[in-house]
A and B are shown apart, each in its own frame.
Chain A
Amino acid sequence: MEITVKLFAMFRIGRFAAETKRYEPGATPGDIVSELRIPEKEVGIVMVNSRHAKLDQRLFDGDTLALFQLLGGG
């Protein structure tokens, strides 16, 4: 299945801003986070098709996954 992955903030560095890639059916955002070697503790919001999502939820063909980096400064 094809998933469009969008990365935000520093997650783009050495990776990409947006790419459509093939994944095995049943893949989850968590699978893609580990495939991209993004440390889970740096992940803020996970969004699928413009809505807040969980790392273990199942993705479907044509979904768009967006990963935001955690911010804590003030």
Chain B
Amino acid sequence: MELRQFLQTSAVGDLVPWAVQTDAAKRYDLTVAEVEEAILEQGLMPARYQRNRQTIAAGMQLRLFRSRVVVIGSGGLGGYIIEELARLGVGHLVVVDPDVFEEHNLNRQILSSPLHLGMPKVDVAAARVREINPAVTITPLKVSFSTANGREILEGADAVVDGLDSITSRRELVTLCREMAIPLVHGAIGGWYGQVATQLPGDDISPNIFGLQPESKGVEAQLGNPSFTPATVASLQVAETCKVLLGEGESLRHRVLFVNLLNMEFEEVRMDSALG
């Protein structure tokens, strides 16, 4: 029996249960990722994504599966971003972070735990993704993102998500994404506050969100970050990333969304398109 036929006969309605997916991988000597692609190509849906519908139909799920997203930073924002992208079914993730988990991460970083102290954040991220969605291919890079290595890291990406923790490195990321014409979903947090913006090819968000002076410093140095702020902003970033990958809805292009969780205010700033 061919794989195609096996999947068709084993499907429950148009859903292929995980047990069938792993069985098919064994029978046909394939990875679960290869089987997942075959399922989606047939217009069937791996059963794990059944609650993505009607939001994400089978064709869109295939598009997500064939997408490559680079997440820069695997800390407060990055941890949630990776978790959500993997559950969404984005097929290829690259996660970049030079750090190991430390005790002061435990108040907010979803991938951290006392057991992970001292372990590289990208290794924990990779293990988590393999655990929650083995059909996702994850590439952990334990390096610090910079202009010097950035081009190689971002090569082939359909979208880049910003989970960095400094304004200086964000400026470099924005510039490189602009040069390489790769969509970038920016997010930043400090205390009760956060912001999100999307830069599509041809745009430049840097004059709008990185302050007026080169030595500009964010408020997070004084305020720290509680658990809910990264979770909120990261989720907004993943929603933006999903839309960018699928070409659906309206992104935060030419807009910056400010989130104030202390007063529960969401404020939008419109940007001149000439400024990005």
Chain A positions near chain B (C-beta within 8 angstroms): 8-10, 17, 40-47, 50-52, 55, 66, 68-74
Chain B positions near chain A (C-beta within 8 angstroms): 73, 75-78, 162-167, 170, 187-195, 208-213, 215-223, 225, 230, 256, 258, 260, 263, 267, 269-272, 275
Q: How far is the CB of B185 from chain A (nearest CB, A)?
A: 12
Q: Is the CB of A71 within 8 A of B217?
A: no
Main secondary structure of the interface of B (DSSP, over half): mixed
A9-B76 contact in complex given A73-B225, A74-B163, C-beta closer than 8 Å: no
Instruction: List 7 tightest A-B contacts by C-beta distance, closest first.
Output: A72-B218, A73-B220, A74-B165, A71-B188, A72-B167, A71-B190, A9-B193
User: In whole angstroms, how far apart are the Cα atoms of A46 and B216 in the complex?
Assistant: 14
List 18 additional A-B contacts (Cβ < 8 Å) besides A44-B211, A45-B258, A70-B219. Answer: A9-B192, A10-B191, A10-B222, A17-B263, A40-B213, A41-B211, A41-B213, A51-B269, A55-B212, A66-B269, A70-B210, A71-B189, A71-B219, A72-B219, A73-B165, A73-B225, A74-B73, A74-B77
Q: Is the CB of A45 within 8 A of B223?
A: no
Q: Can you report 9 A-B residue pairs in the complex whose CB atoms are below 8 A from each other?
A: A44-B210, A45-B269, A50-B270, A51-B271, A66-B269, A70-B216, A73-B220, A73-B225, A74-B73
A70-B77 contact in complex given A9-B193, A10-B191, A52-B208, C-beta closer than 8 Å: no
